[in-house]
Copies of this chain bind each other. A is one copy, B any other.
Amino acid sequence: MLTKSHIKLITSLNQKKCRQQEQLFVVEGVKGIKEFLNSSFKLHLLFSTETIFDAETITVSDKELQKISSLKSPNTAVAVFNIPKLTAVRQAIETLVPSGLIVALDDVRDPGNLGTIIRLCDWFGIQNLICSNATVDCYNSKVVQATMGSLTRINIQYVDLELYLKGYNNDIFGTFMDGSNIYKERLPEKGIIVMGNEANGISQAIERLVTKKISIPRFGDLKATESLNVATATSIVLSEFKRD
């Protein structure tokens, strides 16, 4: 049975502060919930209008689902999962850091952009995503929604990005208008790729730590758009790093 305290809990998880206090986050929709159930994430509560999950389910009416959903048209089920313990994630990351490409985000603020970037990391086999502390929380429900389950497969760590990059020993790439043409560069299999904030790009403090400035050339005439959206720029950069 859906209780008042369930509703209070789930509603509170819209706030980052409450997610961090409770170490819980919300996943909506059958497909997404199934991906989390099939992953190492631990289920806390599951509410559904249908009995379709291999997990303990609290059956709710459509009206009740509406009360706990953040969507205009709720989609059958809402689940609450535990945020994985930092120690476990950190260990995983420390083991993996040396082996391959890492994407780092310098204050990406839009949940849709972060969700898309997580999905891109998954597609391109990037296992580690490093976020500056000011980057939008990856357990924000809009991010979770946009990742389409990819959140279950990517190690995401929030760090003081400046400190983190200072401790890194390989090349640090960043996209800048005056960087060298990405299509002409030899791109290694190891390194950190920094992507910047939607409005301001990469901050000056982080720019100083970038060892290779790259750029995505603009085609067409000079009046063309000034910049690419950070998620589409990430897709082009990752495609270039990963293609032969």
Binding site for B on A (CB under 8 A): 112, 116, 119-120, 122-127, 148-150, 153, 183, 216, 218-221, 223-229, 231-236, 239-240, 242-244
User: What residues of chain B lie closer than 8 Å to A233, measured between beta carbons?
Assistant: 235
Q: A112-B112, A225-B150 are in contact. Are A219 and B125 (CB under 8 A)?
A: yes
> Is B225 a contact of A123 with CB atoms below 8 Å?
yes
Find the B residue at minimum CB distance from A234.
B232
| 23 pairs, CB–CB < 8 Å, chain A vs chain B | A119-B225, A120-B228, A123-B219, A123-B225, A124-B219, A125-B219, A125-B221, A127-B220, A148-B225, A148-B226, A148-B227, A153-B223, A153-B225, A183-B243, A183-B244, A216-B239, A229-B231, A232-B234, A232-B235, A235-B235, A236-B239, A239-B239, A239-B240
> Is A125 a contact of B220 with CB atoms below 8 Å?
yes
Find the B residue at minimum CB distance from A220.
B125
> Is B219 a contact of A119 with CB atoms below 8 Å?
no
Contact pick for A235, options B112, B226, B236, CB 8 Å: B236
User: What residues of chain B lie closer than 8 Å to A231, measured between beta carbons?
Assistant: 116, 229, 231-232
> How far, in Å, is A229 (CB) from chain B's closest CB?
6
Q: Which of A112, A119, A149 has the most CB of B within 10 A?
A: A119
Contact pick for A119, options B125, B183, B223, B228, CB 8 Å: B228
> Is A220 a contact of B112 with CB atoms below 8 Å?
no
User: What residues of chain B lie closer than 8 Å to A219, measured between beta carbons?
Assistant: 123-125, 242
> Is A116 a contact of B232 with CB atoms below 8 Å?
yes
Q: Name the 4 nearest CB pairs between A and B, nearest first.
A: A125-B220, A125-B219, A232-B235, A122-B225
> Is B228 a contact of A123 with CB atoms below 8 Å?
yes
Q: How far does the alpha carbon of A207 sit from the alpha carbon of B120 in the complex, in Å?
A: 25
Q: How far does the alpha carbon of A214 sit from the alpha carbon of B240 in the complex, in Å?
A: 17
> Is B232 a contact of A120 with CB atoms below 8 Å?
yes
User: What residues of chain B lie closer than 8 Å to A235, measured between beta carbons?
Assistant: 228, 232-233, 235-236
Q: How far does the alpha carbon of A127 sit from the alpha carbon of B220 in the complex, in Å?
A: 9
User: What residues of chain B lie closer than 8 Å to A243, measured between beta carbons?
Assistant: 183
User: What residues of chain B lie closer than 8 Å to A127, measured between beta carbons?
Assistant: 220
Q: Which of A112, A220, A244 has the most CB of B within 10 A?
A: A220
Q: How far does the alpha carbon of A10 sit from the alpha carbon of B236 in the complex, in Å?
A: 38
> Is A224 a contact of B120 with CB atoms below 8 Å?
no
